Amino acid sequence: MTRLLIVGGSDAGISAGLRARELAPDVEATLVVADAYPNYSICGIPYHLSGEVPDWRSLAHRSQTDLETAGLELLLCHTARQIDPVAQKLTVTDPAGAEVALAYDTLVVATGATPLRPPIAGLDRLGATEGVHLLHTMDDTFAVADTLTRRTAERAVIVGAGYIGMEMADALTVRGLAVTVVETLPQVLPTVDPELAALVEAELVGHGVEVVTDTTVTEIHHTGGELHVSGAGGFARSADLVLVVVGVRPDTTLATAAGATIGARGALAVDRRMRTNLPGVYAAGDCVHTYHRVLDADAYLPLGTTAHKQGRVAGENAVGAERTFAGSLGTQVVKIFDLTIARTGLRHHEAAAAAGLAPRTVPVTLDDHKAYFPGAQPVHVRITGDTRTGRLLGVQMLGALATGVAKRIDTAATALYHHMSVEELSDLDLSYTPPLGSPWDVLQAAAQAWASDSHPATPKAPGP
C-alpha cells in the first residue's frame, strides 16, 4: 500500500488528498494539520467577521467527518518539523509535544503562506490581548471576533489596502465600526490600475471609511485602555482594534531545510507536475511558485483557486499519474461594498516589463445592458493587448454588484487561457437579452475599441 503524507490542511493539501484517494482508493493518505480546522475557507473570514455568515463552522468546505469518510486520516494539531528525503520520513510534534516519525512513499508539501510582519514598533510586543491582530487563520479569526465582542470595539485601523484590507474595511463597517485604512503606496488595491483604484477609494469614502494613502505606519502602542497608531507625516489615530494585513510570503521553512530549491519570489520551485527537486516530494499552493500562462514563466500568485488546482495535480501525480498543471492567469475578483472589481492576466506595466511584449491599454466605460431597459449601470474596463501580435494580455474591470463583472472577467480569463487575440473576442458567441447585456457584450465592445484606429474612450455598443 502506498503511503502518502500531506503537510497542510487547507486548499492545496485537501485537494491533493481527495484526488489521490479518488484515483487510488487503496492509498494510505494522511494529512498533517497544524491546527484543528482542516479545509476551512480563509477567503470567507471577512464575511464571518461582518456577521453575514454568523456560524464560523459554515466556512468549512467539508466537515472532518466528510474528509474521514473520503478516506483521509487527519492528524490535527500536529506540527511538521523535519523532512528526511533519504529515509523518507517526516518528523512531527503531536499535541502533547512528543516527536513522532512518519514514514512515506510520497509527500506533498502544502504549507501555504504566512502573513508579513512589517517593521512597526510595538507589533511584536502587542497582540490579540491588546486588540492588535494579523488575519490568516481560524485562530486569528476567533481572536478578532473576541476583540469585537469582549472589547466592544468601535474604532478600527487597518494597515494595508490590499484584498484582505479592502474586504475587512467592508466587513468592519457593516459591523458598525468607524474604520481607517492606511496604505504605504499611493493607492488602495495596488493590484489594479490607479484609475480603477480611485473608484474603489470613492466607494470606501462613500461608506464612511477614512482612507489614508502614501503613509507608512511606524508604531503601535497601548495606553489608557486604547491603541494609538502613528506613522509618517504626522499620522496619528486611536483605535480599539488594529488589523495588520500587508500581504503574505510563502512558508518554505520545512521544505528548504530538507534541501528544496527556491524559485520565483522566494517560493518553492516546482515543475508543472508539482515536483520539487527532492525525490518523492511534491508541493502545491501558496508555498510554491506557479506557471503563468501569459508570461510563459514562473510567478508567485497565492490564490485559493490556484492552490486547489495545484493540489489536485500533486495528488494525482503522487499516486502515479502524469498530470501537468495548466498554469495560472492571476484571475481575481473582490467585492467592496456595492462594487465588484476584477482582473486577469497582465496589467500594462507588467506586460511592458516582460520580454518581447509591446502592450497598449485602452480604457472604456459601457453600460452593463441596454440603456432603454431600466437599471443600466456603467462597467469600467481596461483592456491590454500586444501591439505586435494583437494577442490579448490582460483585462481589468469594475462595476456595481449587479453588472456581472465576476462572470465577464471569467470570459476574459478563458480567452487568455486559449491565447486568443483581442479582436477574436468579438467572434465569441455570447448571450444577449436587453435586461442583462447588449448584442456586443461589454468585453467585446472594449476589444473593438482596442482594435480600432481611433481607440475611443467610451464606444457605444451597437445593436437593437
| Burial class of 170 by CB neighbour count within 10 A (0 to 12, 13 to 18, 19+) | buried
Each residue's pLDDT expressed in tens, for the chain with a length of 464 residues:
799 999 999 999 999 999 999 999 999 999 999 999 999 999 999 999 999 999 999 999 999 999 999 999 999 999 999 999 999 999 999 999 999 999 999 999 999 999 999 999 999 999 999 999 999 999 999 999 999 998 789 999 999 999 999 999 999 999 999 999 999 999 999 999 999 999 999 999 999 999 999 999 999 999 988 999 999 999 999 999 999 999 999 999 999 999 999 999 999 999 999 999 999 999 999 999 999 999 999 999 999 999 999 999 999 999 999 999 999 999 999 999 999 999 999 999 999 999 899 999 999 999 999 999 999 999 999 999 999 999 999 999 999 999 999 999 999 999 999 999 999 999 999 999 999 999 999 999 999 999 995 444 444 444 44
Residue 1 has what pLDDT? Answer: 74
How far apart CA 301 and CA 349 sit, in angstroms, is 17
Note whether 32 and 75 are within 8 A (CB). Answer: yes
Residue 464 has what pLDDT? Answer: 46
**Nearest to residue 313, comparing CAs of 335, 333, 350, 288?**
288
**3 state SS of 41:** coil
**pTM of the predicted model, to two decimals?**
0.94
Per DSSP, 17 falls in state H
Residue 366 Cα to chain centre, angstroms: 28
Residue 150 has what pLDDT? Answer: 82
**What domains lie within the chain, and their CATH numbers?**
3-40+60-113+250-318 (3.50.50.60), 132-246 (3.50.50.60), 338-451 (3.50.50.60)
Note whether 144 and 171 are within 8 A (CB). Answer: no
Share in percent of the chain as helix, strand, coil (round to 5): 30, 30, 45
The CA dihedral of 56, 62, 63, 64, to the nearest 10 degrees, is -120
Q: How many residues does the chain have?
A: 464
For 9, the grid coordinates are 490542511
- To 5 degrees, how large is the angle CA 224–CA 230–CA 236? 80
- To 5 degrees, how large is the angle CA 438–CA 443–CA 449? 100
In sequence order, what are the residues at sequence separation of 6 or more whose Cβ sits closer than 8 angstroms to the Cβ of residue 213?
161, 183, 185, 186, 187, 188, 201
How far apart CA 261 and CA 267 sit, in angstroms, is 9
Q: Give the strand order in the sheet containing 217-223.
A: 217-223, 226-231, 236-239
